Every structure is written in structure tokens, then in C-alpha cells.
Amino acid sequence: MTRRPIIGIIGNAHSINDRYPVHCGGDMNSCAVAHVAGAVPLIIPADPRFVSVGELLDICDGFLLTGGRPNVHPQEYGEVATPAHGAFDRARDAITLPLIRECVARGQPFMGICRGFQEVNVAMGGTLHPEIRDLPGRMNHRMPPDATLEEQFALRHRVHFTPGGVFARLLGADSVMTNTLHGQGIKEPAPRIVIEGRAEDDTPEAILVKDAPGFTLSVQWHPEWNAADDPVSRPLFAAFGRAAAEWSRSRRPLAA
């Protein structure tokens, strides 16, 4: 029987009824990993009290850097926290940022989504805007707060890709429609971050790490929504799954 690769899904700290702490991951993330990427979804408690980066690299073949309500702490990119920066999860920062750097160095695949997209830029030395809707000429990329899930994850703006780039070739298009559910965004891209997709208001939406030996595609939107049926999401997760499977085979050769 062929062994499926293991993709670690970065979990988010949450509190049930404001008193019972949990680490959780959205069902749609697990669905996309299992049914489109063809991998085993493993939710990770992103907290250095419980796991180390070294252990995660040994256990998992790839990582899904999920979205989340808390933001990367601005101290990680040399700025002072303000109320506009929102809530933080310093435990997640302590796991994901060094994890990204190690994955880049090793060629171990990851895909960043929303906060995960922002983590990739910060981990590699970039900075973030705390609230892009306050910038001149930018649209509001946040989700409608009181809408249904279907309305929140509906396609809302177009993303234009670099012609002939990695995203354009993978998706077979120079532009696509995407959802948008974020408040922060890239301010200064890290030296190795290549921006291959931008929204109509010039907000960075699709990136990769230059000269990285492994899969590093990351997006500001949420491709995990309806991933099996969406023509943009499916090829992204399928390519991520192939990269994780290749990594798994490379370090676990078949027994004679």
C-alpha cells in the first residue's frame, strides 16, 4: 500500500466558551489536504511548550501554514505594536517563523495561506502593513462580518499574475478571481520573496521564495474553501501534495 505523505496543518490557539483552551484547525483545511493534496492531515499545536521545529521537520513531509485571527507580532519585523496590529499569538510565531526558514533551507515543502502567507514574508525578513484598507487607493480586503460562510468566502476580486511565472503556468491563466478575508498585507517584501500575483489595488496576493529548492507557493486568499471543486484551488493543493509526496519518497526509500 502506498504511504500518503503527512502534511502538518498549523493549528491556532482557541478558547471554547472563553474558558477551555484548544488547538484547532478548520475542517476545510483537512479536506483540502486529504482529498486534493492526497496527504494525511495532521493538526499541529503551534506552541514551543509542546513541539519543537526539529520534531516537526522529522514527522511531517510538508506544512500548511493556515490563516488565523491573531497576527504576526510586529516585533518580529522591527516595529512597535499598536492597536491597529490586532491580537497576537506569540507561541505560533515561535514555531512557524523558524519552521519556514528551515523548510526553505532543506527544500521541505510548505504552502502559506493568509496569515501563513504573511508569516513567510516576515520569516524571510519582510514587513507588514497592519491595516491595508487604511492605505490610499486600497480596497477593503476583510470579509463581511455578519455574512454566511458562503458569502464570506465568495469570489470578490481578481488577482493578476506575472505572465509566464510559476503561478500563471500552474493555474493556466494570467489572472483569476479569488476570495479575500484579511486585514494585513505585505509592506516590504523580504529580499528573497518574489511577488507573482497582485490584486487590482496592487496588494500582493501570491508569492514564492526565490531560489528555494522546494515548494514555497503562498497566497493571501483562502484556497482551502471548496478546494476540490474550485479551478484555482485544486491545482494549488494538487501541486503541493505532489511536492510533499516527492519529499516523503526521497527520505523514505521503498523497502527491498
Q: Which residues are catalytically annotated?
A: 114, 222, 224
What is the DSSP secondary-structure string of the chain? -PPPPEEEEEPEEEEETTTEEEEE--HHHHHIIIIIS-SEEEEE---TTT--HHHHHHH-SEEEE---SSBPPGGGGT----GGG--B-HHHHHHHHHHHHHHHHHT--EEEETHHHHHHHHHTT--EES-GGGSTT----SPPTTS-HHHHTS--EEEEEPTTSHHHHHHTSSEEEE----S-EESS--TTEEEEEEETTS-EEEEEETT-SS---EESS-TTTTTTT-TTHHHHHHHHHHHHHHHHHHHSPPP-
